[in-house]
A = this chain, B = another copy of it.
Amino acid sequence: MTDVVTPPTSPVSRERSKEIKRLSVISTARQVRVLSRAELTELTGLSPATLTPLVRELIAEGYLIERGPGASRAGRPRAMLEFNPRAELVAAVSLEPSRLSCEIADSDGTVVAHRTVRLAGDIIDTICRSVPELAGDGLPALRGVAIAAPGVSSGGAVRLAPSVGLVEGRPIGEAVQRHLGVPVVVDNDVNLMAAGEHAAGAGSDVADLLLLHVADGIGAGLVLDGQVRRGAGGAAGEVGFLPLDPADRGHDGVGPFEARWSENAVAERVVALAPGRRPDAPVAALVELARADERAAAYLDEVLTAWSRLIVSCVCVIDPGRVLLSGAAAQLDDPAVDRLQALVAAAAPSTTEVRRAVLGDRAVLHGAVSYALSAAATGLPTLLPAP
């Protein structure tokens, strides 16, 4: 079965159970933000007697801040506790072909510090220097590092290596983890976006979603049962390779589908329809054009139809229930999204909501926060989405 062949430490040792309690309280407080001890007893199931010393400890460590008394209808008012997001910092590192952007955020996803560095010299060194510098005196509060590597559209972890040097997840992650002493997660940007939208965006109310990211290539990030799923070889979501048309042919690590329906491909057609410079937002431009130009409208419908078939394919396989449009696909206006939704509904075997993602550029950051926090909270009964 699974590889839990050797659990070297007792499942119910003293330290372990203490840690479980701590994490249970912290994660509850993180969700509810401001609450009293009485609410904690309800939410965690721990007895008041157990909570008193634990809360005291957490206050001392800065996780919780004691606020004044709350309102009371009758009886002693509750002494309110506020979760301190600054008690947990997270670093999000984005690798790009020639540079590296690094952000320190608190557990709200609020950016505390950020910096962009040109890549020179060793990536690992650069990361291990930048993160502590940026974190400054907040370094002890650093709970995790998430490293986003590009390349969803270019065929998974394997093929992205050349673009940024050696980025085979494990080495870079392990090296940084050893240096900084906190959990490090390496993943591709689309997976992080999916995690971000799930944690704090258009998917915070569901346990399953698929984020469709259209850019130079087309990739998808998959959240099932509250977790990002990467598949056996980390190539889950490589939907640009879907063989939806026997005539389509991919080339050089570009999938057959994305060769025709990526942002690049659309941009070329848009330039043909409206000669001029390649627009920054080709899909937005196409939507605009389609209002007046009949040929543009027809092509827009082609694009929507193609994308809908892509979405339907994903729905047939994993039934995510909700699909988020990201990247160029998020440039669609409401009528276009509605049209897409209708096309999907007509062909999918189960009801599926199609929406735009809402976090935009901040999705990766929120995903990194979510990764790092859950990496820090290994082994606790994680209560995932907020209501």
Q: Which residues of A contact B (CB under 8 A)?
A: 1-2, 4-13, 17, 20-21, 24, 31, 42-47, 50, 155-156, 199, 204, 206-208, 220, 222, 224-227, 229-246, 255, 309, 312-322, 347-351, 380-381, 383-385, 387
Give bound CA distance, A347 to B238, whole Å.
12
28 of the cross-chain contacts (CB-CB < 8 Å) are A2-B207, A4-B383, A7-B24, A7-B43, A7-B45, A7-B381, A10-B46, A11-B20, A11-B21, A12-B17, A12-B20, A12-B21, A155-B349, A208-B231, A208-B232, A220-B317, A230-B319, A231-B319, A231-B321, A233-B350, A234-B319, A236-B319, A238-B319, A240-B316, A241-B312, A241-B349, A242-B312, A245-B246
Q: Could you tell me if B321 and A387 are in contact, using CB atoms closer than 8 angstroms?
A: no
Asked whether A241 lies within 8 Å of B316 as measured between CB atoms, the reply is yes
A238 & B12 in contact (Cβ 8 Å cutoff): no
**Does the CB pair A242–B316 fall under 8 Å?**
yes
* A224 and B229 form a contact (CB under 8 A): yes
Report Cα–Cα, A385/B350, bound state, in Å: 14
Chain B residues with Cβ below 8 Å from A350 are 156, 231-235, 238
Known contacts A241-B312, A314-B317; is-contact A204 B156 (Cβ 8 Å): no
**Of B21, B235, B240, B319, which is within 8 A of A233 by CB?**
B319
Kindly identify which residue among B238, B318, B385 contacts A236, using a CB–CB cutoff of 8 Å. B318
Q: Once bound together, how far apart are the Cα atoms of A31 and B42, in whole Å?
A: 38
Within the complex, the shortest CB–CB distance from A50 to chain B, in Å, comes to 8
Chain B residues near A235: list those with CB within 8 A. Answer: 315, 319, 349-350
Docked complex Cα distance between A314 and B314 (Å): 8
Closest to A350 in B: B235
Question: 7 tightest A-B contacts by CB?
Answer: A232-B321, A231-B319, A235-B350, A1-B207, A10-B45, A235-B319, A233-B350
Q: Which residues of B contact A241 (CB under 8 A)?
A: 312, 316, 347-349
B2–A226 CB distance below 8 A: yes
Q: Which chain B residues lie closer than 8 Å to A13 at the CB level?
A: 45
Q: In the complex, A321→B207 CA distance in Å?
A: 24
Q: Please report the C-alpha to C-alpha distance between residue A38 and residue B39 in the assembled complex, in whole angstroms.
A: 44
Complex Cα distance, B387 from A1, in Å, reads: 9
Residues of B near A7 (CB, < 8 A) are: 24, 43-45, 381, 383
Is A387's CB under 8 angstroms from B5's CB?
yes
Taken together as a complex, chains A and B put the C-alpha atoms of A387 and B244 apart, in Å, by 29
Kindly list chain B residues whose C-beta atoms are within 8 Å of the C-beta of A9: 45
Q: Please, which residue of chain B has its CB at the minimum distance from the CB of A47?
A: B10
Assembly CA distance A50 to B315 (angstroms): 49
Which of A47, A225, A242 has the most B CB atoms < 10 Å from its CB?
A242
Q: How far is the CA of A377 from the CA of B319 in the complex (A)?
A: 27
Q: Please tell me if the beta carbons of A381 and B236 are within 8 angstroms of each other in the complex.
A: no
For A46, list chain B residues within 8 Å (CB).
Answer: 10-11
Interchain CA distance A7-B383 in the complex, whole Å: 10
Bound: A7/B31 CA distance, A? 14
Q: Are A224 and B233 neighbours in the complex by a CB distance under 8 Å?
A: no
| Minimum CB–CB distance for A323 against chain B, Å | 11
Q: How far is the CA of A234 from the CA of B21 in the complex (A)?
A: 34
Closest B residue to A204 by beta carbon equals: B1
